[in-house]
Structure 1
Amino acid sequence: MSWETLDAIADSVNPILGVIALVWPWIFWRSFWRRAALSVFTTLVSVAFVYVIAWLDARYGWWPSMGLDFSTHTAVAVTLVVSLCAIKPSIWFAWVGVLCAYVALMLYQGYHTAADIFTTAAVIAPPLCLDHWWLRRADRPG
């Protein structure tokens, strides 16, 4: 495949994951609108969190100070994959597989280094997992 084709595929990953993460809860939990709404809200807040971290990095230069580059593409993909895994945990391996393929594509295309991607994911994933864990606990009856 040409570089342009792979670039187009890479550019489509996050928008496709985003649409799935925002629509799937309404389909999956159609009888539980509160749970679907909380899932979509949590996803949107998580994406906003990514852009706050990106803004802070641009302002304070955390990643550049280590010779790295904050990967907004990775951060958004991790956010959406965490959300999708929270919706249906039994198929987490499929979403993680998509994320791994996306990471491999970014590395192959030279968008980011492995260190850029790893450090971004290491900072972004834990608070998002905690956020979704809280959502699941808050949504339990009683």
Structure 2
Amino acid sequence: MINLPALLLSAILLSGCTNNQSVSENAPNNNIGYFSDALTCNQSTTQKTKINVPTGGTQIVIEMPIGHDANTFVDCMKHEGWPITHADPTEYLKVSTDCLQKTQGTENMDENYAVCVKRSRMDVDVITDK
């Protein structure tokens, strides 16, 4: 005969082991949400200006993007918990925007975005002529 309390206790213990921190650290995709967070931060830091456009007898107000606030973008990504790979906020925003455009619509956008950002580090070796 099956011991129901022992079976229930075993099931609870096994389910607790699957949520263990060491198991989740070895998970294949730790970049879940990276692309969407970068896209949200990019869109939320867009600076806009309002332009009045006359159309016949009325005017329409159109908001035109004029740029992004790089420091706010970096703060947003820090707030979301993602690593900031570049010291210069403007360069980091440029790399992020380029990677968002390259990886949008790909099969695994989070992973591809993470690889793109990591690959774009600005490590430059100066070679002089002798």
| TM-score normalised by length of structure 2 | 0.26
| TM-score normalised by length of structure 1 | 0.24
Q: Highest relative contact order (Cα 8 Å, sep 6+), 1 or 2?
A: 1
Q: Which has the larger radius of gyration?
A: 2
**Which is strand-richer, 1 or 2?**
2
